[in-house]
């Protein structure tokens, strides 16, 4: 018996390090890993009693998992997260990229990047949806791997989880943070700050260059139209100058001038004054103001954008901010006119732009259609429905065919935390064949329609400009418009139009 006891004690002593080692290297669950990531990322906790996931019920994890879900770090499936599942290495990397990386850049990972970064012997074991995340993580340094094998299906221990999180956090703080904030967090903060000022001003200019290519147009039409000849040969170049004064929540005054490089076109000036639910506008061709009741439209703008200022070129509306923040990254800090600025860049390629703008345009269009339905006269409901359907089809054709690449650069004053300048560069390629065919369906049979049946049109345009915000909470001035300054209006559908403008429309109609 004594020999057996000694043997058992010896066996226990021998395996004790293995037991301790196994305990130390226990596999980590998804819930535990997410909790560690949220803490490392210093995210403000969502205080909730019930999770968005049906299977997350442990009060120790509910707030952390909800915070990660709201921040876009996790997604789950069919309202389930499987919090007690053990975590694989590739799952951990995806979570780390979403928490500490530039999520917007994952979708733009190229084949070359995949080939250069995923050279592991076991690369074929990487789940397809994780490939872009892992390639980006390796390229950015969020994850470091020096072995020939990645082991994507390996279960992550707590020790490995801590090392991976620390590596991601170090890279994040060095590359993607300023003053303790990520680019997305800072963009949200300064945007909200702008909206809280009682008044502010903005000014800037936009250089626009446009070229048009037309194929299949009958020679006689081309020869008869000198303006068309000039447009096709020279394109159209212009500079748009914009100045505005804003008084939150519902007053703004915009002065816009357009300078063409073609002297024959002359210059155009426009003034727009929004005062509560009314919009006043006039051009250099008119002496009086046109007045429109846009109360319903402003409600729609505010519900969609979080602002009553539809002409703001320098800040993002609510929809844009939500869509763009995942693509925000810091650039090199700069000094301009003695002031130090953080720089936040947002670059959207054509696929990303199309996806984001389609979502926003759909919401805007639905709201406009709902507003039009509410304002329709009962006797014109059929005609109104036709215009709604046509509008939806036109917008659909434009958004599906156009290719847009856009870059923003925000300059944030380090001292005041205001963004005081915004650079915008945008390139647009738009084939208009389908749109032209759709419009031809509304034309009566005749010579004009016959001339257009084989026409193909493509348009290329380039925009670049800088806008400045200044004089926060300073004095602003608005036009004083008296009743005698307002032109008589007539009603076209739901839109009041100046009589002299309507005369021009009738004169130029087919």
Q: From first to last of the 510 residues of the chain, give the pLDDT tens digit.
A: 444 444 444 444 444 443 333 344 589 999 999 999 999 999 999 999 999 999 999 999 999 999 999 999 999 888 999 999 999 999 999 999 999 998 878 988 999 999 999 999 999 999 999 999 999 999 999 999 988 999 999 999 999 999 999 999 999 988 888 988 888 889 889 988 888 899 999 999 999 998 888 888 788 777 777 777 777 777 888 999 999 999 988 899 999 999 988 777 778 899 999 998 888 999 988 889 999 887 665 555 555 444 444 445 455 666 667 777 778 889 999 999 999 999 999 888 877 777 777 666 666 666 666 655 655 544 444 544 546 566 667 767 777 778 888 899 999 999 999 989 999 999 998 887 777 777 777 778 877 777 777 888 888 999 999 999 999 999 999 999 999 999 875 443 444 444 444 444 343 333
Q: What is the torsion angle, in degrees rounded to the nearest 10, for the CA atoms of residue 427, residue 431, residue 437 and residue 443?
A: 40
Look at residues 151, 175, 199 and tell me which one is the last residue of a structural domain.
175
Number of H helices, E strands in the chain: 18, 16
Residue 203 sits at the vertex; the CA angle it makes with 201 and 496, to the nearest 5 degrees, is 85
The last residue of one of the domains, among 121, 149, 175, is: 175
Residue 32 domain flag: yes
Q: What is the 3-state composition of the chain as percent helix, strand, coil, each rounded to the nearest 5?
A: 45, 25, 30
Same structural domain, 372 and 239: yes
Residues 165, 256, single domain; the answer is no
Helix (H, G, I), strand (E, B) or coil at 372: helix
**Where do we find the tokens 């009962």?**
378
Q: Within this chain, do residues 125 and 219 fall inside the same structural domain, yes or no?
A: no
- Predicted TM-score (pTM) of the model is 0.70
**CA distance linking residue 45 with residue 460, whole number of Å:** 47
The whole-angstrom distance between residue 321's C-alpha and the CA centroid of its chain comes to: 6
Tell how far CA 304 is from the center of its chain: 13
Q: Single out the residue in 121, 148, 175 at which a domain terminates.
A: 175
Domain housing 385: 182-474
229 and 168 housed in the same domain: no
Q: How far apart are CA 423 and CA 141, in angstroms?
A: 29
Residues 217, 167, single domain; the answer is: no
Q: Using CA atoms in the order 224, 230, 235, 238, what is the torsion angle rounded to 10 degrees?
A: -120
How many Cβ atoms sit within 10 Å of the Cβ of residue 257? 16
Residue 1 lies in a domain: no
Contact 214, 230 (CB under 8 A): no
Within a domain: residue 31? yes
Q: How many CB atoms lie within 10 A of CB 22?
A: 11
Sign of the Cα pseudo-torsion (8, 14, 20, 22, in order): negative
Chain Cα centroid distance, residue 331:
18
The answer on 152 and 35 residing in a single domain is yes
Please give the structure tokens belonging to residue 388.
């709604």
The C-alpha atoms of residue 494 and residue 161 are separated, in whole angstroms, by: 61
- Same domain for 157 and 213, yes or no, is no
What six digits make up the tokens of 296?
């319903």
Residue 261 lies in a domain: yes
Burial 474-486 (b: 16+ CB within 10 A, else e): eebeeeebeeeee
Please list, in sequence order, all residues whose beta carbon lies within 8 angstroms of the beta carbon of residue 141, skipping any fewer than 6 positions away: 167, 171, 175
Domain count, the chain: 2
Place of tokens 């006689």: 220
Q: How far is 278 from 55, CA to CA, in rounded Å?
A: 51
């Amino acid at each position: 018996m004594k020999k057996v006891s000694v043997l058992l004690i010896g066996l226990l002593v021998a395996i004790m390090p293995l037991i301790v080692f196994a305990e130390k290297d226990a596999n980590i669950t998804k819930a535990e890993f997410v909790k560690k990531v949220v803490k490392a990322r210093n995210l403000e906790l969502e205080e909730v009693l019930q999770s968005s996931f049906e299977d997350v019920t442990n009060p120790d994890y509910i707030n952390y998992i909800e915070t990660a879900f709201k921040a876009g770090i996790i997604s789950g499936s069919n309202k389930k997260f499987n919090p007690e599942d053990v975590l694989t290495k590739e799952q951990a990397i995806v979570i780390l990229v979403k928490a500490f990386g530039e999520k917007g850049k994952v979708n733009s990972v190229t084949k070359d990047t995949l080939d250069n970064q995923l050279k592991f012997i076991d690369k074929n074991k990487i789940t397809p949806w994780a490939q872009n995340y892992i390639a980006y993580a390796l390229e950015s340094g969020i994850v470091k791997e020096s072995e020939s094998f990645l082991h994507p299906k390996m279960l992550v221990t707590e020790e490995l989880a801590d090392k991976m999180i620390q590596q991601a956090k170090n890279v994040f703080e060095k590359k993607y943070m300023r003053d303790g904030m990520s680019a997305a967090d800072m963009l949200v903060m300064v945007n909200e700050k702008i909206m809280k000022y009682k008044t502010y001003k903005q000014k800037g200019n936009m250089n626009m260059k446009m070229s048009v290519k037309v194929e299949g147009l009958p020679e006689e039409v081309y020869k008869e139209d000198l303006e068309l000849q000039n447009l096709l040969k020279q394109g159209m170049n212009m500079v748009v100058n914009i100045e505005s004064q804003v008084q939150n929540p519902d007053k703004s005054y915009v002065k816009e001038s357009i300078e063409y490089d073609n002297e024959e076109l002359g210059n155009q000036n426009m003034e727009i004054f929004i005062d509560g639910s009314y919009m006043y506008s006039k051009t250099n061709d008119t002496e009086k103001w046109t007045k429109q009741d846009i109360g319903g439209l402003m409600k729609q703008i505010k519900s969609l954008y979080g602002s009553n200022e539809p002409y703001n070129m320098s800040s993002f509306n609510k929809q844009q901010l939500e869509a763009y923040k995942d693509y925000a990254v810091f650039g090199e800090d700069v000094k301009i006119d003695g002031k130090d600025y953080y720089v936040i860049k947002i670059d959207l390629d054509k696929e990303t732009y199309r996806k984001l703008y389609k979502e926003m345009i759909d919401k805007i269009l639905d709201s406009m259609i709902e507003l039009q339905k509410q304002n329709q006269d009962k006797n014109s409901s059929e005609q109104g429905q036709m215009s709604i359907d046509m509008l939806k089809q036109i917008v659909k054709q434009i958004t599906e065919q156009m290719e847009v690449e856009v870059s923003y650069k925000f300059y944030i004053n380090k001292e005041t935390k205001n963004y005081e300048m915004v650079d915008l560069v945008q390139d647009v390629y738009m084939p208009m064949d389908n749109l032209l065919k759709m419009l031809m369906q509304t034309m009566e049979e005749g010579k004009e329609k016959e001339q257009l049946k084989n026409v193909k049109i493509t348009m290329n345009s380039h925009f670049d400009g800088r806008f400045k915000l200044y004089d926060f909470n300073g004095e602003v001035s608005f036009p004083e418009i008296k009743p005698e300054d307002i032109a008589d209006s007539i009603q076209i559908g739901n839109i009041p139009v100046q009589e002299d403008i309507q005369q021009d429309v009738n004169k130029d109609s087919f």
